[in-house]
């Protein structure tokens, strides 16, 4: 179990990092322009304001240390990191309590409910949607950190069902299951930090969702503690006993209650995972190939397709230093699509022989789409670095460039148009203030009927924190509007939080939002739980 210290004002752990290559820096200078002012962590300031005293029993493990409170004030979105780094965090919790049991959560919530104390549930704190940020306004705020409610609580080896505490982070999930030859197979990019409860509360999806499914398909049962009581939904493989209420908890983002236990479907640990790389002529052909693969019954664990720009950056950053780059460039020139080629990764897991069979069959499918194999080195590199990519953001902030991501999902028939609209929205919004912003896109969670689209965009920092965040907020608003106009979801796996909340009603309708408000009222009549997320449509991007 990791005891590494989390970094303040940045992703991940102290001592870790992911420095941009000189090629990436050159690429940014060429496409985004020279850097703006650096936003380093040098100006982190501890909150000076005294916390409000909270009437909790002294038996609880309560902290009012300034650094602890600041560390629990914001998630891991770009604006969060900028606020912390620049000492401009406006609201921080009055205390942080580390609960140790569902009974303690119940007791704390009862007190908070009686005293009007607002509560933010905290798992790994990796929200990139403003999902754990301390609400503003006068009433005191308590963060309930679930890190002490961690670990494997029960394992039913006949049913392959494992009960975990909500605060269990990814590596511990896999370490505990690994002792029994099992795996969950849920590997979001935040895997090292994020927790079981957070995954469920935000409808998380891992990088191998094609093989293992989204978190929704892994949740068999759960326990929720709300101000109105404890609620248990038993582990069942399937049911027709009315609406599936597990799906009301999944995605509730701490607004309905605190998830205190999750029963997860687990599987035999695969012997190996192998990722093949290909280059394919253009994005249209790439998407057609992905569709064919995902509709085959091949037991693949992942298919990932980068658009031409992301492919060029990946080659500049990663493949650029490898023996493959000249080969790939030669191939693309030969096909007359020098700037249109798309990198594709195709993975399979299981026994050696089954993996070989699946990847051979995939190769045969991709051959019909004229994809060219790049072998396994790019896939190995991706596997090695995949949890380290988020560290790049802080290294770029240190240099004066900002980067963020957003993601969506749409039916295949609208995928290309949605990509175009989002990329344009970013470029045009930046251009309107005389800036350049550039966007990469990839497909990483394909489905039979549609796909996720994941966007990474870069822009220059502005003269100060507020103006940098305002620039970013402008891009977020433009892309959110573009998604709604394309009838694409406001989020495929990051969630709603407070930053996407203004765009929830356009997606689910007024009746949908009313239904969720009614449920919130039932679980939490006084509205103390994470009140700014999901259902409050206030635009808080610049908070």
**Binding to a copy of itself in span 140-179, by CB under 8 A:** 156, 158-161
Give the nearer residue to a copy of itself in terms of CB position, either 244 or 466.
244
HSE-up of 238 (CA within 13 Å, CB side)?
0
Is 267 a binding residue for a copy of itself by CB under 8 A? The answer is yes
Stretch binding a copy of itself (CB under 8 A), from 11-19, 196-204, 302-310, 363-371: 196-204
Is 449 a binding residue for a copy of itself by CB under 8 A? The answer is yes
C-alpha closest to that of 348 among 279, 439, 270, 417? 270
Is 83 a binding residue for a copy of itself by CB under 8 A? The answer is no
Question: How many Cβ atoms sit within 10 Å of the Cβ of residue 1?
Answer: 10
Do residues 438 and 427 make contact, with C-beta atoms less than 8 angstroms apart?
yes
C-alpha closest to that of 311 among 340, 346, 275? 340
Is 527 a binding residue for a copy of itself by CB under 8 A? The answer is no
Is 236 a binding residue for a copy of itself by CB under 8 A? The answer is yes
Give the nearer residue to a copy of itself in terms of CB position, either 19 or 236.
236
What residues between 285 and 304 interact with a copy of itself by CB under 8 A?
Answer: 291, 295, 297, 299
Q: Please state the closest distance from residue 327 (CB atom) to a copy of itself, in A.
A: 32
Is 448 a binding residue for a copy of itself by CB under 8 A? The answer is yes
Give the nearer residue to a copy of itself in terms of CB position, either 4 or 522.
522
Among 69, 72, 172, 265, binds a copy of itself (CB under 8 A): 265
Number of residues located near a copy of itself, criterion CB under 8 A: 84
Is 355 a binding residue for a copy of itself by CB under 8 A? The answer is no
Is 132 a binding residue for a copy of itself by CB under 8 A? The answer is no
Is 419 a binding residue for a copy of itself by CB under 8 A? The answer is no
Among 495, 498, 524, 531, binds a copy of itself (CB under 8 A): 495
Give the nearer residue to a copy of itself in terms of CB position, either 95 or 162.
162
Give the nearer residue to a copy of itself in terms of CB position, either 13 or 412.
412
Stretch binding a copy of itself (CB under 8 A), from 170-178, 231-239, 332-340, 419-427: 231-239
Token pair 């029963």 in the structure block, residue = 263
Is 353 a binding residue for a copy of itself by CB under 8 A? The answer is no
Stretch binding a copy of itself (CB under 8 A), from 139-147, 322-330, 443-451, 464-472: 443-451
Q: How far apart are CA 535 and CA 85, in angstroms?
A: 29
C-alpha closest to that of 280 among 350, 349, 315, 328? 328
Is 356 a binding residue for a copy of itself by CB under 8 A? The answer is no
Give the nearer residue to a copy of itself in terms of CB position, either 123 or 251.
251
Residue 363 burial (10 A CB sphere; 0-12, 13-18, 19+) = middle
Q: What is the per-residue DSSP string for 289-327? A: HHHHHHHS---EEEEEEE-HHHHHHHHHHTGGGSTHHHH
Residue 173 burial (10 A CB sphere; 0-12, 13-18, 19+) = buried
What residues between 461 and 490 interact with a copy of itself by CB under 8 A?
Answer: 487-490
Is 509 a binding residue for a copy of itself by CB under 8 A? The answer is yes
What residues between 323 and 352 interact with a copy of itself by CB under 8 A?
Answer: 350
Tokens of 77: 């979105």
Is 322 a binding residue for a copy of itself by CB under 8 A? The answer is no
Q: How far apart are CA 347 and CA 333, in angstroms?
A: 27
Q: What share of the chain is helix, strand, coil (3-state, %, to 5)?
A: 40, 20, 40
H, E, C per residue of 238-264: CCCCCCCCHHHHCCCCCCCCEEEEEEE
Q: Please state the closest distance from residue 263 (CB atom) to a copy of itself, in A.
A: 9
Give the nearer residue to a copy of itself in terms of CB position, either 54 or 258.
258
Is 539 a binding residue for a copy of itself by CB under 8 A? The answer is no
Among 127, 190, 252, 340, binds a copy of itself (CB under 8 A): 252
Q: How far apart are CA 481 and CA 486, in angstroms?
A: 9
Token pair 């020139």 in the structure block, residue = 333
Q: What is the per-residue DSSP string for 369-404? A: TT-EEEESHHHHHHHHHTTTGGGHHHHHHTTTEEEE
Q: Please state the closest distance from residue 536 (CB atom) to a copy of itself, in A.
A: 12
Is 220 a binding residue for a copy of itself by CB under 8 A? The answer is yes
Among 74, 118, 471, 500, binds a copy of itself (CB under 8 A): 500
- Chain centroid, CA 340 distance in Å: 28
Tokens of 235: 């582990």
Is 447 a binding residue for a copy of itself by CB under 8 A? The answer is yes
Among 16, 107, 174, 354, binds a copy of itself (CB under 8 A): 354
Token pair 């999930």 in the structure block, residue = 173
Give the nearer residue to a copy of itself in terms of CB position, either 30 or 268.
268
3-state secondary structure of 224: strand
Q: Please state the closest distance from residue 445 (CB atom) to a copy of itself, in A.
A: 7
Query: What are phi and psi for residue 450, nearest 5 degrees?
Result: 180, -165
Is 274 a binding residue for a copy of itself by CB under 8 A? The answer is no
Q: How far apart are CA 252 and CA 200, in angstroms?
A: 9
Q: Please state the closest distance from residue 55 (CB atom) to a copy of itself, in A.
A: 26
Among 147, 174, 216, 282, binds a copy of itself (CB under 8 A): 216
């Amino acid at each position: 179990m990791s005891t590494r210290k989390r970094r303040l004002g940045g992703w991940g752990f102290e001592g870790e990092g992911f420095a941009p290559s000189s090629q990436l820096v050159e690429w940014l200078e060429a496409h985004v322009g020279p850097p703006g002012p650096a936003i380093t962590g040098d100006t982190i300031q501890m909150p000076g304001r005294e916390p409000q005293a909270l009437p909790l029993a002294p038996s609880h493990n309560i902290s009012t240390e300034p650094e602890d409170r600041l560390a629990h004030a914001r998630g891991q979105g770009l604006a969060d990191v900028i606020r912390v780094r620049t000492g401009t965090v406006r609201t921080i919790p009055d205390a942080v309590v580390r609960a140790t049991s569902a009974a303690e959560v119940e007791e704390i919530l009862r007190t908070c409910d009686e005293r009007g104390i607002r509560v933010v549930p905290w798992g790994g704190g990796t929200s990139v949607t403003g999902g754990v940020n301390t609400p503003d306004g006068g009433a005191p705020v308590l963060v309930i950190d679930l890190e002490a409610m961690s670990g494997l609580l029960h394992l039913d080896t006949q049913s392959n069902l494992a009960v975990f505490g909500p605060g269990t982070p990814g590596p511990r999930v896999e370490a505990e299951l690994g002792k029994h030859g099992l795996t969950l197979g849920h590997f979001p990019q935040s895997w090292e930090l994020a927790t079981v409860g957070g995954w469920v509360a935000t409808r998380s999806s891992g990088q191998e969702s094609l093989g293992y499914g989204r978190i929704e398909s892994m949740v068999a049962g759960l326990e929720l503690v709300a101000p109105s009581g404890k609620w248990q939904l038993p582990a069942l493989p399937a049911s027709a006993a009315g609406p599936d209420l597990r799906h009301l908890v999944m995605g509730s983002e701490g607004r309905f209650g605190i998830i205190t236990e999750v029963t997860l479907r687990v599987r035999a640990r695969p012997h190996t995972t192998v990722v093949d790389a290909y280059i394919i002529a253009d994005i249209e052909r790439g998407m057609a190939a992905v569709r064919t693969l995902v509709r085959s019954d091949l037991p693949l664990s992942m298919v990932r397709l980068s658009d031409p720009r992301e492919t060029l950056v990946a080659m500049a950053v990663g493949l650029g230093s490898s023996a493959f780059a000249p080969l790939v460039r030669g191939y693309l020139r030969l096909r007359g699509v020098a700037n249109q080629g798309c990198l594709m990764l195709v993975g399979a897991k299981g026994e050696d022989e089954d993996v070989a069979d699946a990847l051979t069959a995939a190769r045969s499918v991709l051959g019909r789409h004229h994809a060219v194999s790049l072998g396994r080195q790019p896939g190995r590199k991706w596997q090695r670095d995949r949890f380290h990519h988020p560290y790049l953001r802080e290294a770029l902030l240190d240099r004066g460039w900002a980067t963020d991501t957003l993601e969506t999902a749409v039916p295949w028939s609208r995928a290309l148009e949605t990509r175009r609209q989002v990329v344009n929205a970013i470029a045009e919004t930046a251009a309107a203030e005389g800036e350049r912003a550039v966007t990469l896109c990839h497909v990483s969670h394909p489905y039979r009927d549609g796909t996720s689209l994941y966007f990474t965009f870069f822009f220059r920092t502005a003269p100060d924190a507020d103006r940098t965040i305002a620039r970013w907020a402008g891009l977020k608003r433009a892309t959110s509007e573009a998604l709604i106009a394309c009838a694409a979801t406001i989020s495929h796996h990051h969630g709603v939080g407070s930053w996407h909340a203004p765009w929830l009603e356009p997606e689910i309708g007024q009746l949908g939002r009313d239904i969720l408000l009614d449920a919130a009222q039932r679980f939490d009549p006084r509205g103390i739980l994470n009140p700014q997320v999901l259902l409050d449509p206030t635009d808080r991007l610049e908070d």
